[in-house]
Amino acid sequence: MNVVEIKAVSKHFRTAGSSVLAVDAVTLSVAAGEFFSLLGPSGCGKSTLLRLIAGFERADGGEIYLNGKPVGETPPYARPVNTVFQSYALFEHMSVYENVAFGLQMEKLPGREIKKRTEEALELVQLEKCADRRPHQLSGGQQQRVALARALAKRPAVLLLDEPLSALDLKLRVQMQQELKSLQRSLGMTFIFVTHDQLEALTMSDRLAVLNAGRILQTGTPAEIYDRPNCRFVAEFVGQTNLLAGTVEAVEAGRTSIFIPALGAALIAGASHRQPGEVVTVAIRPEKFTLHSEPGGAENSLRATVIGSTFQGAVTRYSLRITETCSVEALLQNEQARTDLGAGTEVWLSVQAQAVVLLPEEP
Amino acid sequence: MLRVQQSGRGILVALPVLVYFFVFLVIPLGLVAVLSVLSRDSYGEVRFIWNPGNYVRLFDGLYLKILVDSLLMALSTTAITLLIGYPVAYYIARSPERRRSWLLLAVLVPFWTNFIIRTYAWILILREDGLLNAALLKSGLVSTPLDILFTPTAVLIGMVYEFLPFIVLPLYSTLEKIDEAQLAAAADLGARPFAVFSRIVLPLSTPGLIAGSLLVFIPAIGMFALPDLMGGARTVLVGNLIRNQFLVARDWPFGAAAAMLLVGLSLSLLLWSVRFSRAEWL
């Protein structure tokens, strides 16, 4: 069953006479128990979409359904969702315990029930010992956990998380990513997670939607989004990619041949339903390339010269020039030391047809 | 060594302020304190004879009534300015940033006019053939003009008008600091608008509430000009009592005792508020 159902929802913001379309006819559904991410650059409308679900903003058009019921007219306090805010928004004048108990008190639950659920929530985030402290006496990571416990104590149908990890340092962020994910699995709760960090979205989500300029560009599992981006924006925003302009030359069974003017040669991609003559953009992830000292047997084998390399620990990034007008980036695992690939080294570059992705040409 | 030097420099920096406080606060207050335990002779001259009886006299029936009236007047003024000022401050604090400065300006505009002129304006409004009665009679709400001027009610109206900005400004400054996200979080957690106010907004604005109340209460309890101008002979407050003792009755020691009582009351309120805010915020 879909816990969240968003149908053609739009939202304008009017500022100083001009109107900005923050959310543009977004349609989306999130299944029960799913970890769903909204990924996009800042200003893409992902936070506005979350605020629409929470009820802090009213949609100009379309309808949002929670548990199958339309909630357009429902104020935030009556919606079965809870939010973990980017700034945490903890109540400074209350202790950690009071912060977590607040939402339960608002439900007018019996005192014993409030106590039990507050303690459970604090235990869940391992903050039992900090119950009497004030939020400002806690570290950023601990404050984050209080915000989480406060929302979880309400047992919402959907937990909305608005870039909750963005204020944490890298190490803590990675740790919290894992904790959030395992918490979500063990509770079986539906999470909608807003982030601008593509790696975060890929590692944590069951499914994600990539947004830009108020529109959803692509929805899918992390692997689908990464391996089969449907447009140039998604290809570039999620991970890194080499983009080459080309024209479809021939479409045969199981393979498509694209002529790349910059290479002066054709690349072979997998099966597609493009038409010969169609203008496309070819996307190849840097790690899909392999380097050889001799021409390999793969479909796409190109002669290239190493321009430069950057050692990045587990991997090394190579800049390779194929022709005067065409250079690509390749990412190679440092399985063994490759001291032989200095600038000027001539190599053979190859990529499998399956790794050559065709995107519709965009202006 | 360094620390000694630093603290020495600290005193140097604070010196102008210390001199100011000493000359304009400690010395005059000391003089009043000394005066309050002296006597006067039948011509009104101050005599250096120990006389704590001035303080005892303050609790005579007549003077006690003046004290209680003054306390009630100051309390009502504080309560009414709070009731009016809180929504005003909240509205300004939640307005778009550009509008806020204009609204704050509007709160302060009355101060551009002289106090006496403002008070006379109120007298013109409230007197028997004034604007208020003309409007009430015309609308048929009353058949005979209301007798408001030269009653305690008139004084209360004048005081509320006079002190309203003093409560709006500190309240505004605390309300303005409340993070919008906290209000959203409360609503998100199931708080209806009234609960958001009573559980989040009100507690977070307590410092401004206390500061504003003191800024109204303390000058209100010593106010003598407004009761004089708008209260007529029927309203005597402790401020008038002090003024009269110094300027009319020529009993300076008794006037000084009454003044010291007000100082003591104000000071204890201030100390309590400081302690209260410490407990709440540290």
pLDDT digits (tens, 9 = 90+) for A25-37: 999 999 999 999 9
- Is the C-alpha dihedral spanning A76, A77, A78, A83 positive or negative? positive
Q: In which region does residue A199 sit, left (phi positive, over 0), alpha (psi from -120 to 50) or beta (all else)? A: alpha
A 71-130 near B (Cβ less than 8 A): 75-78, 81-83, 85, 87, 89-93, 102-103, 106-107
C-alpha to C-alpha distance for B60 and B244, rounded to whole angstroms = 17
C-alpha to C-alpha distance for B161 and B115, rounded to whole angstroms = 11
pLDDT at A29: 95
pLDDT band per the 50, 70, 90 thresholds, residue B86: very high
Residue with tokens 């509205």: B91
Rg of chain A, C-alpha, whole Å: 25
Contact across the interface for A89 and B192, Cβ inside 8 Å: no
Q: Identify the bridge partners of residue A31 per DSSP, sorted by sequence position.
A: A2
Contact across the interface for B188 and A82, Cβ inside 8 Å: yes
Running DSSP on this structure, what letter comes out for residue A78?
G
When pLDDT is averaged across residues B65-72 and rounded to a whole number, the result is: 93
Measured between beta carbons, the chain B residues lying within 8 angstroms of A82 are 188-189
**Which one of A56, A77, A89 has the shortest CB-CB distance to B190?**
A77
Contact across the interface for B189 and A54, Cβ inside 8 Å: no
Q: State which residue of chain A sits closest to B189, comparing Cα positions.
A: A103
User: How confident is the model over B176-225, as pLDDT tens digits?
Assistant: 999 999 999 999 999 999 999 999 999 999 999 999 999 999 999 999 88
> Which are the contacts of A102, defined by CB distance < 8 A and separation ≥ 6?
A91, A94, A150, B186, B189, B191, B199
Contact across the interface for A102 and B186, Cβ inside 8 Å: yes
pLDDT band per the 50, 70, 90 thresholds, residue A363: very low
Residue of A171, A233, A180, A186 lying closest to A39 (CA atoms): A233
pLDDT band per the 50, 70, 90 thresholds, residue B45: confident
Residue with tokens 């929802």: A9
> Which are the contacts of B270, defined by CB distance < 8 A and separation ≥ 6?
B214, B218
> Distances from the Cα of B183 to the Cαs of A77, B150, B187, B190, in angstroms?
11, 45, 6, 11
User: How confident is the model over B131-158, as pLDDT tens digits?
Assistant: 999 999 989 888 888 888 888 899 999 9
User: How confident is the model over A57-90, as pLDDT tens digits?
Assistant: 999 999 999 999 999 899 999 999 999 999 999 9
| Min Cα–Cα distance to chain A from B96, Å | 11
pLDDT at B282: 37
pLDDT at A334: 83
Q: Are B195 and A106 in contact (CB under 8 A)?
A: yes
Q: State which residue of chain B sits closest to A57, comparing Cα positions.
A: B184
Count of C-beta atoms within a 10 Å radius of residue B244: 17
> Distances from the Cα of A85 to the Cαs of A62, A148, A361, in angstroms?
25, 9, 38
The residue among B5 and A8 whose pLDDT is bigger is A8
Q: Is A259 on the interface with B (CB under 8 A)?
A: no
Residue of A94, A109, A85 lying closest to A162 (CA atoms): A85
Residue A300 C-alpha from the chain's centroid: 30
pTM of the prediction?
0.83
Contact across the interface for A54 and B188, Cβ inside 8 Å: yes
